[in-house]
């Protein structure tokens, strides 16, 4: 089982992004998670390609990019050029999902699919062998600092069973309400990657918070 941590830049201090990215560089974090929101697919707007390019220029961690946008297939090349290492698209926003995943791979990135809280894991059965990652939203997407949805543990377990059934190598990533209070249980359920925003950046010692997430055990 992997135990990877990807701090979410959505919870960083936007007036001091360089400082916060450097903190992540110096931490035990594995990836840097970036939420790209368009105000259409989700009711919020975060940052776009110019900010991501600036972050990529100073980040020593691979960029784990989560597209919460309509028609994500239109921007695959642009996000590759901006520095994405992993590109996550929403199942709910991708009617031609297989084609989109193929394009992400053709552009040299790892490909992930994100599921909203109401979307069952069963919808991914046919495409799981092609995925590098599945991101389960454990809050409704669009805003940081929300309460963790408790049903997410069972959803992770169901996804893990499906991954094994389909002989997929996909990692399971969790985003939303993650903290030291649920990290161990998420790992135990089958999660490989934990995204944490508010828990990390609101901590008096963010690097220590990241370390705690990586070392949580049941």
How far is it, in rounded angstroms, from Cα 75 to Cα 65? 12
User: Which of the residues are catalytic?
Assistant: 35, 175
Q: Tally the domains of the chain.
A: 1
pLDDT of the residue at 215: 86
Kindly state whether residue 218 falls inside one of the protein's structural domains. Answer: no
Kindly state whether residue 8 falls inside one of the protein's structural domains. Answer: yes
Kindly state whether residue 212 falls inside one of the protein's structural domains. Answer: no
How far is it, in rounded angstroms, from Cα 202 to Cα 23? 13
Kindly state whether residue 143 falls inside one of the protein's structural domains. Answer: yes
Entry field: residues in the chain: 218
For 98-137, give one letter per residue: b (16+ CB within 10 A) or e.
Answer: eebbebbbebebbbbbbbbeebebeebeebbebbbbbbbb
pLDDT of the residue at 145: 59
Kindly state whether residue 80 falls inside one of the protein's structural domains. Answer: yes
> Helical H runs in 9-151?
17-26, 49-58, 76-82, 97-106
How far is it, in rounded angstroms, from Cα 116 to Cα 100? 18
pLDDT of the residue at 140: 83
Give the CATH number for residue 202: 3.20.20.70
The stretches in the chain having pLDDT less than 50 are: none
Contact in structure between 179 and 170 (CB atoms under 8 Å)? no
Kindly state whether residue 217 falls inside one of the protein's structural domains. Answer: no
Domain with 29 in it: 4-206
* Closest residue by Cα to residue 40 from 176, 144, 142: 142
Kindly state whether residue 214 falls inside one of the protein's structural domains. Answer: no
How far is it, in rounded angstroms, from Cα 200 to Cα 163? 29
Kindly state whether residue 216 falls inside one of the protein's structural domains. Answer: no
């Amino acid at each position: 089982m992997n135990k990877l941590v990807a701090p979410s830049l959505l919870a960083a201090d936007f007036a001091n992004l360089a400082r916060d990215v450097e903190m992540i560089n110096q931490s035990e974090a594995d990836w840097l998670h970036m939420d790209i929101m368009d105000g259409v697919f989700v009711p919020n707007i975060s940052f776009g390609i110019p900010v991501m390019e600036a972050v990529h220029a100073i980040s020593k961690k691979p960029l784990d990019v989560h597209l919460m946008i309509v028609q994500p297939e239109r921007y695959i090349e642009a996000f590759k050029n901006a520095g994405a290492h992993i590109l996550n698209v929403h199942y709910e926003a991708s009617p031609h999902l297989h084609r989109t995943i193929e394009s992400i791979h053709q552009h040299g990135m790892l490909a992930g699919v994100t599921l909203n809280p109401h979307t069952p894991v069963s919808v991914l059965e046919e495409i799981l062998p092609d995925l590098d990652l599945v991101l389960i939203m454990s809050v409704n997407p669009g805003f940081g600092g929300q309460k963790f949805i408790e049903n997410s543990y069972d959803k992770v377990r169901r996804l893990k069973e499906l991954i094994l059934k389909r002989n997929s190598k996909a990692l399971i990533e969790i985003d939303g309400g993650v903290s030291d209070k649920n990290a161990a249980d998420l790992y135990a359920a089958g999660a490989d990657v934990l995204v944490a925003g508010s828990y990390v950046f609101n901590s008096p010692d963010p690097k220590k918070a990241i370390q705690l997430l990586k070392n949580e055990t049941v």
